């Protein structure tokens, strides 16, 4: 499946930047969104060198009004047929062992979950009117079974999964495809802030290749790598006491951004 108009959030680095580069091609219009303007423009330049016409919006996806305005301006030049909600932050148990604060937890949910809604919501009317469009939500295996040292991150990704599943069920009859991607560990600046055991860690490009393939194929679900996805699902299905003991082996300390 090919796309002519797309938006990627969290596009200044990591998986978002890799996905932007993979979808960049002649004849493609792109809006790249992230908070940090300088690295965002570097990614845009790389996408432009591949033939794409690239616009950037340096803003916080938690700011619904600012994102809606940027989307409206971009849509005035043509329809959006792919929206990739990738922007994300994390907090958790600090290096000194103190738990995440209520303020940090709220901020994680505002960016990861509400930010995805702020992206997709304004674009749905156009997709519905055209009877076509694709949405990709980058969640996490942590959303399948919450991890004790990153509760807000786990909650935000679980919310993305549930919202994405509901959105797909509601919108597929209108021709809108929704892909919910749940990656495990892969190389990224955010991942480097997590200090702990990271089994089966992939490179950023390996993760991006899997997500890209799922989006182009219109897959509803993607969870990888397979062994970790299986263990996450098993952990969620176990009785709470047993499941809790199992995930206590996945302990992290999360360095501040």
Q: Are 60 and 35 contacting, i.e. CB atoms less than 8 angstroms apart?
A: yes
- Closest by Cα among 113, 130, 156 to 78: 130
* Inter-residue contact 157 to 111 (CB < 8 Å): no
Q: Is 88 a catalytic residue?
A: no
Q: List, in order, residues 6 or more apart from 63 with CB less than 8 Å away.
A: 118
The residue from 3, 74, 153, 252 that is catalytic is: 153
Report which DSSP code applies to 238. S
| Token pair of 114 as six digits | 């509400």
Buried-exposed string 18-39: b where 16+ CB fall within 10 A, e elsewhere: bbbbbbbeeebbbbbbbbeeeb
Residues whose CB falls within 8 Å of the CB of residue 255, separated by 6 or more in sequence, listed in order: 94, 95, 193, 195
d(CA 257, CA 111): 14
Phi-psi region of 38 (alpha: psi -120 to 50; beta: other; left: phi over 0): alpha
- Which of 120, 121, 38, 126 has the alpha carbon at shortest distance from 77? 126
Round the CA-based radius of gyration of the chain to a whole number and report it: 18
Q: Which residues pair with 244 in a beta bridge?
A: none
Residues annotated catalytic, as ranges: 153
């Amino acid at each position: 499946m090919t796309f002519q108009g797309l938006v990627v959030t969290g596009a200044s680095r990591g998986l978002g930047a890799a996905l932007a580069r993979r979808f960049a091609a002649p004849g493609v219009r792109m809006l790249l969104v992230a908070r940090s303007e300088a690295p965002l423009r570097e990614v845009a330049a790389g996408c432009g060198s591949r033939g794409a016409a690239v616009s950037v919006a340096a803003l916080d996806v938690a700011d619904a009004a600012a994102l809606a305005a940027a989307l409206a301006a971009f849509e005035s030049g043509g329809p959006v047929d792919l929206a990739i909600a990738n922007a994300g932050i994390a907090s958790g148990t600090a290096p000194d062992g103190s738990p995440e604060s209520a303020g940090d937890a709220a901020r994680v949910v505002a960016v990861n979950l509400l930010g995805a809604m702020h992206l997709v919501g304004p674009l749905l009317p156009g997709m519905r009117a055209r009877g076509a469009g694709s949405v990709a939500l980058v969640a996490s295996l942590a959303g399948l079974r919450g991890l004790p040292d990153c509760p807000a991150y786990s909650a935000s990704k679980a919310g993305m999964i549930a919202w994405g599943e509901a959105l797909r069920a509601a919108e597929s009859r209108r021709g809108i495809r929704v892909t919910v991607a749940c990656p495990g560990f892969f190389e990224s600046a955010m991942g480097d802030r997590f200090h702990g055991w990271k089994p089966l860690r992939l490179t950023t490009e390996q993760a991006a290749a899997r997500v890209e393939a799922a989006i182009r194929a219109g897959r509803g679900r993607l969870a990888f790598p397979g062994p970790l996805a299986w263990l996450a699902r098993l952990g969620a299905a176990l009785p709470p006491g047993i499941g809790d003991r199992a995930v206590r082996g996945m302990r992290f300390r999360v360095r501040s951004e």
